[in-house]
Structure 1
Amino acid sequence: MQPDDIDWNIINILRESHQNNNSLARELGISEGTVRQRIKKLKEVGILKIRASINPDVLENQQLATIAINIGESSQLEAKAKEIAQLPGVLNVSITSGRYDLFVELLTFSNKGLVKFLTQELSTIQGITSTESFLMLKSYNRYV
């Protein structure tokens, strides 16, 4: 399934702010039932996920980090990405081109949380040959 114009309108409005189905319907000039069914379908097929996002820069003891990872065997990229994605605090894992095989986005508590993640969580994944960590010191318009 690919979203049509109405689906994209719903998605774009929800990306900007939370609105109930009635508000969406009024804004788009369609029925509340249509909005409800379209959101349900978008969620079922994995296009849309509705969740609360936080700004880690304004919360105490929250550290956003990116960890670049290389995997020993390229045939294991997808399996390792899925395995890492299940670890606590992992927001996203991307298979990448270039110098690194994977980028892991992590939200943890302070620098101690990053050390714990690297030494107690990520170290359990077999096949990782190297990592490089990047701490996000300040982000703009970044909600996770």
Structure 2
Amino acid sequence: MTQHELDELDSGIVTRLRVENMSNNALAEELGISEGTVRQRIKKLKEAGVLKIRALINPDSLVRQQLATIAVNLNESRLLDAKAREIAELENVLSVSITSGQYDLIVEVLVDSNRGLVGFLTDTLARVEGIAKTESFLMLKNYNKYV
């Protein structure tokens, strides 16, 4: 995805959708524009990879799943982008971020609560070549977090 600068209208649409799910008509009325304009803007934002609309759930409400974060260091920093993309395609991965500081990547996963993290680390993530080490963090309680 290339960077996309949001104009005032795009920003207004995105900001409102981040707060709550709204119909195109409700957005149009609130922004003082036509429903067609809202529909076109949302379509363009989706096509540009700027906006993705989906339902999110509080991970604390999931009975048999566990949210975890895995910090990853790679053997070679020149592989950052390629390895981030490869890991992002793995099952159970919610997101991957290239970071500064102590770790190269931060990986957010949603796994089965009973041995799910162990399976992910030893079976799934272990297939990715070039990982030097990982450190895992289980999210025990979340505030204002939806996945």
1:105 CA drift (Å): 0.5
Asked if 1:70 is matched to 2:70, the reply is no
Please identify runs of 4+ aligned residues in structure 1 that moved more than 6 A.
none
Query: 1:36 matched to which residue of 2?
Result: 39
Question: Does 2:50 align with 1:47?
Answer: yes
Structure 1 unaligned regions, length at least 5: none
TM-score with structure 2 length normalisation?
0.95
User: SS at 1:34's partner residue?
Assistant: helix
Letter in 1 for 2:13: I
The whole-number CA distance in structure 2 between the counterparts of 1:90 and 1:111 is: 17
CA deviation string 1:103-138 (max 9, x = no partner):
101111204111110011000000101000000000
- Count, aligned residues: 144
Q: 1:88 aligns with which of 68, 85, 91?
A: 91
The alignment status of 1:127 with 2:107, answered yes or no, reads no
- SS of 1:98 mapped into structure 2: coil
Q: Identity of paired residues, percent?
A: 65
Unaligned runs of 5+ in 2: none
How well do the aligned residues superpose, as a CA RMSD in angstroms?
A: 0.9
Please list, as runs of the form range in 1=range in 2, the aligned pairs for 1:100-115 lying within 5 A after superposition.
100-115=103-118
Secondary structure of the structure 2 residue equivalent to 1:52: coil
What is the CA–CA distance in structure 2 between the aligned matches of 1:14 and 1:89, rounded to whole Å? 25
